[in-house]
Amino acid sequence: MSKPADLEGMNLGVHPSGSTYVFLKAFFAKNGLDLAKFKQSTVSPPYENMLILGRVDVVPGYIDAEVPELEAKAGGPGSLSILLGADYGYDAYGSGLFTSEKMIADKPDVVQRFVKAYLQAFAFTVEHPKEAVAIVVKANPEYKGKEDTLLAQLDADIKSTFFSAYTKQHGIGAISDKQWTATAQGLKEQGMLPADFSSADGYDASFVEKSGALKR
């Protein structure tokens, strides 16, 4: 595959209650594709394995989660054909740090300290990925033996999700008004946010700014 239109005629493996399905619908909408006209096979987690088993042709997934897992089973880096949503108009945030308005109002000092510690953890992870993986495995012994896949997932994060042109300038964790607006609009279009949700709501950049965010 080299473009979204190449998906036509393929059997899509989907998990309708998962976040990847929301992103898939938004990706199709951005590229003028009608998902209803595609063959879709509903598969249960771990749905991505259906691709390796040859039961579906395509699955939606995260570049820092499903992709390294699948590549480890399919033959290593380069063994999959990947279309990145970010290359085709899907400019949205994938994760974030959430708290309540009440927590911010009642205990802003706690929120500030937590955000600072969180960003320091990011800084350590970026600079010491192998050590970060070792910490994860120590806390989760069931991951022992999967260190290479965990490291590949972390490497994908560092290369593809931790940094952008905006965060390189303003620091990791900094939120771009433009990208947040695009994220909120996409979620509204998919019915995940109320139609009257204001894109000006939903985020507060002040805690990251006060933390002296990591830049690269």
Domains of the chain listed by start with CATH number:
4-88 (3.40.190.10), 101-210 (3.40.190.10)
- Tell me the mean pLDDT in the region 41-58: 86
Mean pLDDT of 49-72: 89
pLDDT at 148 (0 to 100): 93
Which token pair is 135? 């910490």
Please give the span between the terminal C-alpha atoms of the chain, in angstroms, as a whole number: 32
pLDDT in tens, 11-30: 999 988 888 899 899 999 99
pLDDT digits (tens, 9 = 90+) for 107-153: 999 999 999 999 999 889 999 999 999 999 999 999 999 999 999 99
DSSP string of 26-59, one letter each residue: HHHHHTT--GGGSEEEE--SSTTHHHHTTS-SB-
What is the pLDDT at residue 40? 94
CA dihedral 129, 135, 138, 144 (to 10 degrees): -10
What span, in angstroms and rounded, lies between the C-alpha atoms of 124 and 119?
9
How does pLDDT run across 145-184, given as a tens digit for each residue?
999 999 999 999 988 888 888 888 888 888 888 889 988 8
Q: What per-residue confidence (pLDDT) applies to 106?
A: 98
Q: What is the mean pLDDT of the chain?
A: 89
Residues 153 and 64 sit within 8 Å (Cβ to Cβ): yes
Can you give the pLDDT at residue 156?
Answer: 92
pLDDT-derived band at 215 (thresholds 50, 70, 90) equals low
What pTM, to 2 d.p., does this model score? Answer: 0.79
pLDDT given for residue 102 in this prediction: 95
